[in-house]
Structures are given as C-alpha cells and as structure tokens.
Structure 1
Amino acid sequence: MGRAVLLFLIIASLLFVEPVSVLPVFELYTKTTTGITETLFATFEHVSDVANKEKLVCSSLDTITVQIGNISQRIIQSEQINVIARMLQNLPSAHQLKLKLNDILMKQITLNVYYREMERYLRHIDKYENSALINFAEGVVSGDSNSIPFLMESVYQQVTVPGFFDDFLEGFDVTVGDSVCKGKQSTAQIIHSFMNELLIINLKGYIVTYTSYMIKKLCKIGDFNMELQDLREEFQRRTNNLVATIKPYMERASSALWRCDPQNHVKDETYIEVTNFLHGIILNKVNLDPNERCSEECDVFTYTTKYQCHDNKWCKHQTTCPKIINCLYIDSSMEVCRSEGMFKTNRRYDYVKFGNGRHFGKRKSCSRSRTTGLETYRNWLVYKCSYCYCLCEEGPPFFSERYINMRLTESNKTDNKVMTGLRFVKNRQVIHLQIQEGTLLPYGQIDLDTLRWVPVEDYKVTNSSYHPGKDYYTLKWEERDFDLADIMVKEGSIVTGVAFRKVGTRLHLQVQATPFNFTSGKLRNGFSVLEDDPDIRRKHKFAKQLILDRVDIPIRSDLPSDKFTTNKYVKFANTDYDKDAGQTTIPFFDAQPLESAIPVPLVGVGVFHKGTSGFGGFITPRIFTYNFTKHLGPVFSPDKNGRLRVS
C-alpha cells in the first residue's frame, strides 16, 4: 500500500506542478489547493504504517511549499515586494485603511515565521528531536494571540467586516490622490492582488496548522481526526467567503490606470510639446495694411495671410509668418528681448516690456545684442504707425512639430501579441501613440519575457509618399481640436491597436479590438475591428470645450495635477501673453510610459486632460486593465454527500 500511495503522490504533484506557468493566480491557487487537499487526505486515509506516513507527509508537504512559493511569486511578479507592503507604500499616510493593512501585514509576518520554521523542519526532519517538533506544533495550535488559528481568524474577521472594502475603494480612488498610478495598478488589479494575498495567507495558515497536528499525531500525542476535519472545513469556508466578500468590490472597482505627474519634468521623456505652431509676434500696422498705411487700428487685423516688410529694420530681423491672427494694440513703446533663435528655443521672444509698465513673459536679464526698442512713429504726418501684438501660425513643414500620426499602430497578432501599455513619443516631428505588446497566454496572462515597445513608424511629413489627413494630422488654427474620451471594446475582445481619425474638425481616438478565447489565450485572427465611441457623432455636435484661458507653461507648476477632464474636447492654443508672451503651444502631451506592474490584456484606452489651475496641463493616455471578476467563483462546492470539494 505504501508504494501505491507514493506513486499517487508523485502523480498528484505533477498534476499541479506542470501547468502552473500559464495559470493566473486564482486558477493556480485553486489547482494547487486541489493537489494539497487531495494529496494530504489520501495519504492519511490510506497509509497505516506510521513510518511510511512520516516520509510521505514530509515529501508531499515539501512539494506543497514549492507550489505556494510559485503562487506568491506570481502575485508580486517582477516587483520583489509583498503586495500588502506595496499598498502601504502607496497609500496616503493619514488614511485609516493604512492602520488596518499594517496590522494584517504584522500578522502575515508572524505567519511567515511559522511557515519558514515548518519548511526547515520538513526538509531536515531526521536531524531534529521529537521534542523540538512537538514544541513547534504546540506553539502553532496553542490558542494564544500568536497562534496560527488565532491569527487566521483575526485576519479573516478584519477583511470581512462590513465597511472594510468600502475604505479600500476610498483609499485607492483613482480620482483622489496618487496611490493607484504610483503603484502602477488599477484599483481592480490592486483588489485582485490583495485577494490573492489573503488566499495565500489562508492557505499557508492551513498548511502550517495541518502539519502541526500531523506532527503531534505521528509522535503519538493524540488522534486529532476531529481537529483535522474541523480545520479542513474551516479552511474551505474561509476560502469561499473571502472570494464571495471581495468579488462585488472587484466588480465596482475602476480598471483605469494612468501616470501621475513625475517628480521632475524632462523634455521628450516625461512630456512632449507641439513646437513652432502658435507664437505671439510683433508687427507694425504699416506692414499689415495692404495699402501700406497706418489708418486702421490693430484689432482690425483678425486674420490675414499676407504682410509686407518695408524699410523697417525690425521686421527684417524676424522669421516670416504666413498667417497672422487676432492683433492687439498694447502700448506705444516696448522693449523686446528676442530669443536666441527659434530653431534652438522654439520661441520668438523671451519677454516684452511695455512703456506703460506691462510685461509679457518671465522677467529676466537679456543681452544687449538681443534687446530691441520699438516705438510708434508717424506716417505721412497723420497716421500713427503703432506696433501690434498678434498671433502667428508658423509655416514650413521642416520647421514645425505639430503633426500627429493617424496610421494604425497594432500588436503582432500573428504571434498572438496584444497591447499591454501606451505612451506618447515624438519621432521626426510627428507625435505618435506608441504601444507596448506582449504574448497572450491562457487565462488572460501575459508572457513577461515577450514584453516590448513596438517601434513607431519612421517617416517624414516632407516625404511625398505620406499624405496629410490620411497618414498624419496637421494642427492648424482652423483645425486644432482634440477629443478627450475613453473607448472600451466589446465583451469578449481585447485591445490590439490604436489610431487617430478626423471627425469634423477634431482628432478622435480609435482602438482596434480583437476577439479572444480566455481559456486557450488565442486571438481570433481576421476578426479585428476599429472601434469608436458609439456616441461620437452626437458628442461631436454637443460636446463642451475644455477652456484653457490665460494659462502658463504646464511644467512651471509647483503643484501636482488635481483637475482631470474627459468627455470634452480641448483646443491647442498659445500660452497667456502676460505669463509667457504667448510663445508656447499648450497643452503638452504626457510622455511617461504607461504600463501595469502586472501586465494584463487591455479592454479600453482613453485620453484625458490633467492639470492645475492657471497652467496648460497635459493630454494624458490611460488604459483599462482586464478585469478577472467574471472568472471568479467558489473554490469549493458541495459534492453529492454534502462535503465541500474543490470546484
């Protein structure tokens, strides 16, 4: 009989060792629990020889500890940090949930001490005296406040009490604080990981307690059959109740994920800007008037594509402007600090100081060679030729960086790869939405070794093979609207690509959706579709504009973004004249890589605006992670005799 049971143990171990590399944590937990419960109970129900039992129990439990290690490693993935400890790092320091989680963490640490001690005894059981083993077992099941049954019940009561997960959702609210984007997991993912961690705590406690009773039984201290049966039933009850308690909160939790503001802004790493599109420009009325007179006021010149440069040294020093918009008169005299060069600074002026005391741009020193004084003068002794402050839409393609890629960017579906991340990048003057891809595995898992950022298309807008409106979008004064919206794919599909398309005068996001089989992890090639917001036509007609009025350069803000806007549209515009001399195009693009700490397939992609009052803010991507809630169910179900078995 001993050999037959040993063979059963080896087969059972193989059954739940081999497939685990492709199972998600919950499935892995269920499968491992199957192996543990069936293996242990088969051993002790069928082996009568005590010596044989000791060898078989130690062999099977040693294998089990390896499986639990596999599950724990799956939960933390590449970040070698405990799930609860990671949540504590990212929670606001004053939040009441922090105290509760810290208490659970302390109990988990105590449990892990017992667990490691159990592992040591099992691996070297022949070297320990019976008295040492008995002392360990008595400490585990003693019933005091540090015993495993007490710790397990305490953790269970803490997380199942009404209100605990309401505090949890509040603490990880994506619209309040930065706990979610710091942790690089959506709220739904955080709850999922926490549930997995609680299940591991429950499983470890069960194994340590079970082992302790077995040690006492093998040392002939008692029979403990009833205690073992109660332990098993309690373990099954807690497991099912934990899943049932947490599942509704996972359904309610947001699956959105984005990046918080970085600690320090770095151009083209944390943000991207549209350059040389709209600039404040100073021109004299005589050069704006087709009759070369100064009879009209500055505000008459609201839109013109022509101006001339007469015998006036000032305009000859400036880069020409093909389109002039919304001119204003400010004062009769001014001192202008010209920038070091538009190709170097993407500005025409650093600042402008007017005779009436008004100041455009930040006050700073300016070299004499770049300082120019301008004053109103008389034309034909009748007209005052004043200098106007206008807006210039800059011109040549080689000069400006105001192009947005419209070509589809997709994962390699032939190799079963899906989108897992997103970021804005700029390449050869063109702003792209770059995607991260990874190979999809069964049960919604991603092969971490295949993750990579897909290189963006390398083309120039000056190449005649690429066409405006089809391959790329050109921002113009008349067409500079950007839709802020989230696009979700239909049930049973995941995101495999992104693109922009023009809807009316606005640039609008699209996502490529591809159906897949959750169990096999296979994409249905040939069934991909580009999906829009289903209400896009209605929204295009009735959507409200996000007004960015009198705003400064976004990276000048000392405060983190606290205003988040979606379901509107925003116009690219110039910064405020007083704050920046109108020399910068806002908003900027958030260029930080957006990826989940535990990569999963995506069910949606969006772009929204984040910022603070008085600043231009950032157009920011966000992703919506796959929610595994619908795949959760009871781990144990009653059999025909009413006993709970693994479902």
Structure 2
Amino acid sequence: MKYAALLTLLAAANAIDPIAVDDLRNQFYTLEKVLWKNVIGTEWSTAGVSGDVELTKAFVAFNDQIQLVRLPPRYPFETWLWAKATEKMRIIDGYYENFVTFIRRQAQPGTVPAPVREWLDVADAILFTNSTSSVAQAVRKIHDLLEYGDMFRGILKVGHPDLCDLQMSPHQLIFDMFNTISLTEIKGYAMMQFSWMLLRIYDKGNYTEEAHLTRMRYAERTARIAAAVKASLASADRGLYRCDPPQHKLGETYEEVTRLLQGYIENEVDMNPDQTCKENCAYYTLTESHGCFKEQFCAKQTKCKGRIIDCNYIDSDMWICMAGKNSHRRYEWIEYENGRTLGQAGTCTRGTTKVDSWWRWLFWHCSYCMCLCDEAGPDSHRYFSLWDSTSDVDSWWKWNLLHCSYCFCLCEDDIQSSERFFSLREATADVEKNKVVTGLRLVKYGRVFHLQISEGTLGERGSVTPGSWVPIQKFDISEIGIREGVDYHTLTYERRAIDLDELDSPSLHVLTGVRFRMIGAHLHFEIRSTPFNFTTGRLSPERSQWISNDNTEGAEKPRSRLELYKPDIPTRKVSSLPVDSQHDQYIEFVNSDFDADAAQSTVPFIDIQPVEPMKGAALLSGAGIVHRGARGSGGFLAAKLFTYDYSPHVSALPPPPPEYAPADDLAAVALPADVY
C-alpha cells in the first residue's frame, strides 16, 4: 500500500494542469527516482525484504494508475505513418500485458518467487532482443516516426474523410492519437527502467549509466514530440458537425419548417373584395383571399388562410398535379401551356388538373397568378376536397369585358397548421452536479423546434463520463400560460431570419448550455460557458456566463446575409453539402425555387442528426448554428460543436535529471545499438 500512497501524493504534487498522460509520466519520473534510491541503497536489504518483489509491488501500483487513464479508441486513420506506429504499439502492448501478468503474480503475498533465470529473461526480452520486436526498439521507432510531428501535420493538411462519421474534430483526433501513443510509450519506458533496476538488483552490472541515458533520450524525444503536437493542436480545427447521411429520412435525419412561404395559385378575382379583374397579377404584392368565385379551382385546393404575397403572371392555362392529402405541399408540379414547368414533372398519382384563365365582360382578363402564401389565420384545419382529378378549371370572362386569370402567389399559410415555432427556453447541463454539455441537436416535438443537449460528468484533467440526452421541456403553443416571445418564436414573413454564429468559450471554460433568444427580428443563438479547474475537474457554477455575438444589421460592421440562389430541396442534392456559412452571418427562411420545386417547400431544412463527439465522452467548449449548402440548394440548418483546446496543457519541458545519475560524462557511455 505504501507505493499506492506515494503515487497518490505524487499526483497531487505535480505541475499545474498537465494532461493525464503528462501527469502520469511525471508521476513515474518521481517514482523512478525513489526506486533507484532503494535499488542502489541498502534500505530494502536492511528491512529484510527481497528487492525484486518490492520492485514488482511498486510497478503493480503504478499499473493501477495507468488503468485510470482513459484510453482513447484507435480509429482507422489510414496512413503509412499511423499504420507503422500502430504496429510498434502492438508490440509494446503485447509485452506489457505479459509483463503485468508476471509482476502481479510475483507481488501476491505468499507467492514463491520465480527462478532468477525467469526474471532475467523478462529483462532481456525488453532490452536486448536482437530482433526488431524488443520493447526498446519499438519505443525508439515510434519516436522516429513522430519526430517533428509529421504524422499530425498530415491530418491538418489532408484531414480525415470519416471525421463526420467518427464524430471527432481534427483537434480531438490529434489529441487522442497523441494520448494513445504517449500511454503506450510510458508502458514501454516503465518496463525498460524495471529491467535496468532488476539487472542491478541481481548484480549483473551497475546499469545506472544505461538507465540515465535511457531516461535522457526518452525525455528529450518526448519533449520534442510534445512541442510539435502542441503546435499542431493549436492550429487544428476544433469544429465538428454532421455531414449528409447515406439517405435522407424525414423525421430521422431532417425536419422542415412547413407552410411559412409556399407557392399558391389564385385567381385575381378572389384577391380583391370587389371580385374584379381590372388589375394584373403583379399588382397583388400583399393581399388575402376574399372568396371563391363560382366555386372554380379555388374550391378544389386548400385555401390560403393568411397573406398572399408577391404574385406573378406566368401563363393563362396550366396543368396542375395536386399533392397527396397528407403532404405539406399543395402541388407536386405545374406545367404551363407555354412549356414552362414548375417542379419536377412526372407521373401524377392523383391525375393532372387543367386550369385555365378566362375573360369577363370582354375586357377583364381574370388571370391565375402564382403567388406566395404565408398562412396566419386562426383556422387549424387542413383539408383537400374529393373531386374529379380530370375536371377542367379554366380562367373566365366576367361581364364579357374582364378576363379573370389564375395567378401563382406565395401563401403565408395558417399558423396553426404549420410547423414554424422555435423554443426560446434554455437547454442547460446540471452544473451543480458537475455536468457539462456533451452533445447537441435540433429536434421537433409537435410543431415546435427545440435545442436539446446531452450531458456528461466532468472528471479530472478533461475526462468526461458519458451521460444521456436531457429531456426537453415540451409544450404546445396553445397551452395556457405559454407566451410568444417568451417561450417561443413564430416565424413570419417579417421575422424569419436566424443568425449564423460559431461561439467559443474563454480559456479554461467549458460548454454548459445553449439557447435561442430574439434580437430584433432575428432568432439568435447563445451558449453558456462555465469556468473549471482542469486538474480536479470541478466546475464553478456561480461564475457561469452567457456568450453571444449581438451584432445586428444596423451595426458599424453589420452581419452579412447568406443568400440562397434558386434553392431546390436539399435532399435532391447528390453530393454532400459542405458548410457554406461564416460566423457573423444570417439567413432567412424562404420558399424553394419556383422552377425547381414550384415553391412548395420552406428552406433551409433542419438537420436533426445528433452531434455528440466520441458518444458523449469528449470535452466541449463551444457551439454554433451553421448552414450546409451549395449553389442551387436550400441546404440545412445544423448544429456545430467545438471540442476543448488541449494545446495549453500539453507539456513540452523535459524533467530534471534523477539523483542516481553518475557524476562523470554520460555522453561518452556507449550503449548497444538495439538499446533505447
């Protein structure tokens, strides 16, 4: 138990805020100093104990400390350097597994010590094997592969094609690779020092010079590699988001804001209270439906119960493919007599409907206009009439003078039948129980979009124990006490912008919450940041703060708008959509392109895939809302996370020389070529 107590004391006394593997290495340096003092001195022999058995007890206790370090998973990073390093690590791990089995058996009370020859065989295999499979050569080869950080610079240069699927940022990948290698090297170095000590105990030589040179070389190379890794980490991207899945699935990988702005065909005669056709489609920039003249086409589609916006005349006559009853769309596609087609024409399950404008009173042309509908009425019902899909719906003449044409408009649809609400409630981790945010996603419950987090428990030196997704505070906008502007925001034609920001915490702070709030007419994203002690892992909840980018369009350097060019439905894009937004931008929800989709969808869509690095075991410092898209696509609004910056905690300083070092010039000491 004395060695376990010593290691606990060493852990508390080490330098401030090193990462776990650096702290472990520092612990072993100090333990090594104590053990060599006993090996060289007479304390063990005076106490009447066996030096080899005492040595095994100390290393068994140190192995317990190794097991406390979270070993990151070995991801399939397919490069020649990583493959070679993995090959050498397997050699060391194989030796170490046998080594731990041996020393545990020898450290058991009452165990008959193994023959000296067996002990010496262990030391010889670790230090002096002439083949390339010795521990000493494997450790040296790993250092050669890692010199100057070439392996990690490769990640920065070419990236990793599977990072979206692996859910790791380049920064986290480099850090975990470094941890994996460092932990393996510590095992190898510990076995080498054990072997030198054992040879000294059995009077096979002095071996202090060899042990000291082993330490010098290991410490110098480790310091150089740490410096290179530190530089790589400082420049590596810490951002992480989800890419397109192999197949888009509504409700599983994405959701839609529905009927905010939607293409809508309406005849001029129904867009004014006098039921006249004396204007043209372009005249109706903002109006509403005032009736259904003679129960024509208007009676055979869902009425726009809100505002009708930005109408345009395309052609008098058309064929319309109506959408299915359970669809959020009104039309699948529209084909005009002049040859222009809106949407992707093809088969029509409900059959096409002929719709023609008409003349009224010989001088009024009652045209069918193509507009946008922004529903805002109180009626929550959605219905489709059962009618003969082959019947004709024609424009007509009124009083033989006016031609009543059907217009294609934008409809701001019935709020109660649309899904356009965003929760303004906070999503926070339980900081009082030392919980931190470990994942983020956008989800839709009922008709309301929410931010949802997963939380885990913060541990020592940046370790995180995964937890679970925090339940959402569900509500319906019709519930008593639920207030617009307090509990939720409703997207409307005038208030449909969302800010695109990528927010990070200050140094030594972690992510503990997210929320939406309103700034003017913009839906705005914020993060909660909480300071913590890296060594102990304890949060300081009372010092938590909300962080945001409160820039507006009216500022000295206003936000820029991310424009969508003829946006089609994003699920139709064959190639994966990259992040095309930048920090300090905003985007507006708009209708999909008229030609590509008959303006039937609201874009961008909402990416609801969870972003949870390392399945909730990664430390996070920031988050954001980004847009993934490309020219001609509506794209997706998506969550983004930032993994914690570990670069300040990576040690690059070699340790002081041990007290057992001989006084003469060790540089002149020659070791065998196959000894580390």
Q: TM-score range by the shorter chain?
A: 0.7 to 0.9
Residues 551, 559 of structure 2: 8 Å contact kept: no
Give CA deviations for 1:255-302 in whole Å, capped at 9, x if unaligned: 222122222222222112111222111111221244322232222212
Q: How does 1:501-520 map to 2 (within 5 A)?
A: 501-520=517-536
* 1:523 alignment partner, SS class: coil
Q: 1:65 to 1:423 in 2, by over 3 A?
A: same
Please report the TM-score for the alignment, with normalisation by the length of structure 2: 0.83
Q: Which residue number corresponds to residue 619 of structure 1? A: 637
* Deviation larger for 357-366 or 276-285: 357-366
1:596 has 2:579 as partner: no
1:424 offset after TM fit, Å?
0.1
2:240 to 230, 253, 257: 257
Q: 1:258 to 1:642 in 2, by over 3 A?
A: farther
* 1:161 alignment partner, SS class: helix
| Letter matched to residue 28 of structure 2 | T
Q: How does 1:471-620 map to 2 (within 5 A)?
A: 471-533=487-549, 535-536=551-552, 542-566=558-582, 567-597=584-614, 599-620=617-638
Residues 323, 331 of structure 2: 8 Å contact kept: yes
- Percent identical residues: 29
1:212 offset after TM fit, Å?
3.5
Matched length: 611
Residues 273, 588 of structure 1: 8 Å contact kept: yes
Question: Aligned equivalents of 1:375 and 1:537: distance in 2?
Answer: 44
Question: Aligned equivalents of 1:641 and 1:62: distance in 2?
Answer: 23
1:180 offset after TM fit, Å?
3.1
CA root-mean-square deviation: 3.1
Q: Unpaired segments of 5 or more residues in structure 1?
A: 1-6, 92-97
Q: How does 1:446-457 map to 2 (within 5 A)?
A: 446-448=464-466, 451-457=467-473
Q: Which residue number corresponds to residue 348 of structure 2? A: 366
Q: 1:19 to 1:391 in 2, by over 3 A?
A: farther
2:329 to 341, 347, 352: 347
Question: Aligned equivalents of 1:516 and 1:332: distance in 2?
Answer: 68
Q: Which residue number corresponds to residue 318 of structure 2? A: 334
Question: Aligned equivalents of 1:311 and 1:439: distance in 2?
Answer: 67
1:441 offset after TM fit, Å?
3.3
1:227 has 2:229 as partner: no
1:197 offset after TM fit, Å?
1.9
* 1:398 alignment partner, SS class: helix
1:168 to 155, 175, 190: 155
2:63 to 34, 51, 65: 65
Q: 1:290 to 1:402 in 2, by over 3 A?
A: same
| Letter matched to residue 55 of structure 2 | V
Question: Aligned equivalents of 1:519 and 1:135: distance in 2?
Answer: 40
Q: Which residue number corresponds to residue 11 of structure 1? A: 5
Residues 469, 502 of structure 1: 8 Å contact kept: yes
Q: Which residue number corresponds to residue 388 of structure 1? A: 369
1:239 has 2:222 as partner: yes
1:588 offset after TM fit, Å?
1.0
2:91 to 98, 101, 110: 110
Q: 1:493 to 1:123 in 2, by over 3 A?
A: closer
Q: 1:223 to 1:458 in 2, by over 3 A?
A: same
| Letter matched to residue 137 of structure 2 | F
Residues 560, 612 of structure 1: 8 Å contact kept: no
Q: Which residue number corresponds to residue 3 of structure 1? A: none
Q: 1:616 to 1:540 in 2, by over 3 A?
A: farther
Residues 202, 239 of structure 1: 8 Å contact kept: no
| Letter matched to residue 554 of structure 1 | P
Question: Aligned equivalents of 1:10 and 1:187: distance in 2?
Answer: 36
| Letter matched to residue 332 of structure 1 | S
Q: 1:201 to 1:522 in 2, by over 3 A?
A: closer
Residues 148, 228 of structure 2: 8 Å contact kept: no
Q: 1:524 to 1:163 in 2, by over 3 A?
A: closer
Q: 1:187 to 1:423 in 2, by over 3 A?
A: same
Q: 1:58 to 1:100 in 2, by over 3 A?
A: same
1:336 offset after TM fit, Å?
1.3
- Structure label with greater radius of gyration: 2
Residues 581, 628 of structure 2: 8 Å contact kept: yes
* 2:415 alignment partner, SS class: coil
Q: Which residue number corresponds to residue 147 of structure 1? A: 134
Q: 1:112 to 1:525 in 2, by over 3 A?
A: closer
| Letter matched to residue 282 of structure 1 | I
Q: Which residue number corresponds to residue 323 of structure 1? A: 307
| Letter matched to residue 527 of structure 1 | R
* 2:541 alignment partner, SS class: coil
1:332 offset after TM fit, Å?
2.1
Q: 1:526 to 1:25 in 2, by over 3 A?
A: closer
| Letter matched to residue 621 of structure 1 | A
Please report the TM-score for the alignment, with normalisation by the length of structure 1: 0.86
1:221 offset after TM fit, Å?
4.0
* 1:385 alignment partner, SS class: strand
Give CA deviations for 1:411-460 in whole Å, capped at 9, x if unaligned: 22332322222110111211111122223334443333xx2222222111
| Letter matched to residue 597 of structure 2 | D
Give CA deviations for 1:156-208 in whole Å, capped at 9, x if unaligned: 12212364432232233xxxx64433332222222222222222232122123
Question: Aligned equivalents of 2:555 and 2:607: distance in 1?
Answer: 24
Q: 1:642 to 1:290 in 2, by over 3 A?
A: farther
1:393 offset after TM fit, Å?
0.9
Residues 281, 392 of structure 1: 8 Å contact kept: yes
1:380 offset after TM fit, Å?
1.0
Residues 3, 58 of structure 2: 8 Å contact kept: yes
1:303 has 2:292 as partner: no
Q: Which residue number corresponds to residue 383 of structure 2? A: none
Give CA deviations for 1:20-61 in whole Å, capped at 9, x if unaligned: 9x9952355246425642453244133565981121122323
1:124 offset after TM fit, Å?
4.6
* Deviation larger for 563-572 or 514-523: 514-523
Q: 1:183 to 1:209 in 2, by over 3 A?
A: same
Give CA deviations for 1:454-486 in whole Å, capped at 9, x if unaligned: 222211112242222232111111221111111
Give CA deviations for 1:77-118 in whole Å, capped at 9, x if unaligned: xxxx42xxx051xx6xxxxxx111111111111222222332
Question: Aligned equivalents of 2:12 and 2:659: distance in 1?
Answer: 31
| Letter matched to residue 75 of structure 1 | L
Question: Aligned equivalents of 1:517 and 1:538: distance in 2?
Answer: 39
Q: Which residue number corresponds to residue 75 of structure 1? A: 71
1:573 offset after TM fit, Å?
0.8
Q: 1:518 to 1:539 in 2, by over 3 A?
A: farther
| Letter matched to residue 151 of structure 1 | A
* 2:472 alignment partner, SS class: coil
1:642 offset after TM fit, Å?
11
